Amino acid sequence: MKNKKKFFATKVFVIAVLGGILTFGTWTTEAKAAITDGKVLVSGLDRSADYYILPDSDRKEISYETMYGLTEPQKQMAINEIYARRGRKFVITEIQDYFNEKSWYKGTVEAEDFDEKVFNDYENRNIAKLLETMDETDATETIYTDFAGAYSYVDRERTVELSVSLYTDVSCENAYSGQECGTVEVSVYYTDGSMAYLRGYLQKDSGNGYRFTGTNLSGAYMTVSSGTVTVSGIESISGTYTKVESYES
């Protein structure tokens, strides 16, 4: 993990992700150094009007697995999103512009007038967990980005060939959850001589997880590792595939 400046707060901790220093809670904790460049924070985010980074963060506790799948800017913006849902305005121009684009955002409360007491238990817990996971992504999971290629899986009943192609203008490392980032083709050869061909699209979930979309592949899920991918969700193509050829990005 890269060394980053940190500071300790007693009684309260502070974060600098909302366009100014804010206190949150009454715990003693180690506060993480924050990204304050608005352009960096909003870069790569979905600008569609109905998009949320964590759409249920006010209704349920979000899993650590989901949070670790976010980049550092996405984590900070996920905290901002919780504040935005409660009507807070933002000092950093790029952040305010980003939320102004959302159909669900109604900015009515100035930053200095905002009271964190409006948060419910889910929101408080999710903010605390997001802060807890900051700066820990590199230590917990390596994000694989150069996995385009041909893969093979063989068992007693079938041989399956999987081809994964990635779009050149989308970074799998920085893609937001739900963003389409490539195509997949699957050929299944059964021992009885029959075969099936499936084709669809690759959609980022979180971390090294991707969903397959399309008429034939909807419901399948792929987890990327070093030199292998594991597919689940559709019985006929489920298994751990070994990479046999790399494609140029």
DSSP of the chain = ------EEESSSEEE-SSSS-EEE-S--EEEPP----HHHHHTT---STT--SSTTTTTSPPPHHHHHTS-HHHHHHHHHHHHHHTTB--SSHHHHHHHHT-TT----B-GGG--GGG--HHHHHHHHHHHHHTT-HHHH-PPP----EEEEEE-SSEEEEEEEEE-TT--TTTPPTT-EEEEEEEEEEETTS-EEEEEEEEEE-STTEEEEESTTTTT-EEEE-SSEEEEESSGGG-EEEEEEEEPP-
Q: What is the CATH number of the domain that holds 240?
A: 2.40.128
Q: Do 112 and 221 belong to one domain?
A: no
Task: Answer whether residue 78 is part of any domain.
Answer: yes
Q: Do 90 and 205 belong to one domain?
A: no
Confidence (pLDDT) at 34: 57
pLDDT of the chain, 249 residues: tens digit per residue = 333 333 333 223 334 344 433 434 433 333 344 566 778 888 888 999 999 999 999 999 999 888 888 888 889 999 999 999 999 999 888 999 999 999 999 999 998 889 999 999 999 999 999 988 886 444 445 778 889 999 999 998 999 999 999 998 777 777 777 889 999 999 999 999 999 999 999 998 877 889 999 878 988 999 898 899 999 989 999 999 999 999 875
Q: Do 184 and 89 belong to one domain?
A: no
Confidence (pLDDT) at 249: 59
| Dist. CA 53–CA 5, nearest whole Å | 26
Confidence (pLDDT) at 9: 32
The two structure tokens encoding residue 141? 């999971």
Task: Answer whether residue 82 is part of any domain.
Answer: yes
**Residue given tokens 């460049």 in the structure block:** 37
Q: Do 134 and 21 belong to one domain?
A: yes
Q: Do 108 and 15 belong to one domain?
A: yes
Q: Which one of 86, 118, 140 terminates a domain?
A: 140
Confidence (pLDDT) at 198: 94
pTM exceeding the 0.75 threshold for the entire prediction = no
Task: Answer whether residue 77 is part of any domain.
Answer: yes
Q: Which domain holds residue 204?
A: 149-246
Q: Do 35 and 71 belong to one domain?
A: yes
Task: Answer whether residue 1 is part of any domain.
Answer: no
Confidence (pLDDT) at 182: 92
Task: Answer whether residue 65 is part of any domain.
Answer: yes
Task: Answer whether residue 2 is part of any domain.
Answer: no
Q: Do 133 and 197 belong to one domain?
A: no
Half-sphere exposure of 231 (CA within 13 A, CB side): 25
Q: Do 175 and 85 belong to one domain?
A: no
Q: Do 20 and 122 belong to one domain?
A: yes
Task: Answer whether residue 171 is part of any domain.
Answer: yes
- How many folded domains does the chain comprise? 2
Q: Do 121 and 203 belong to one domain?
A: no
Q: Do 153 and 203 belong to one domain?
A: yes
Q: Do 34 and 95 belong to one domain?
A: yes
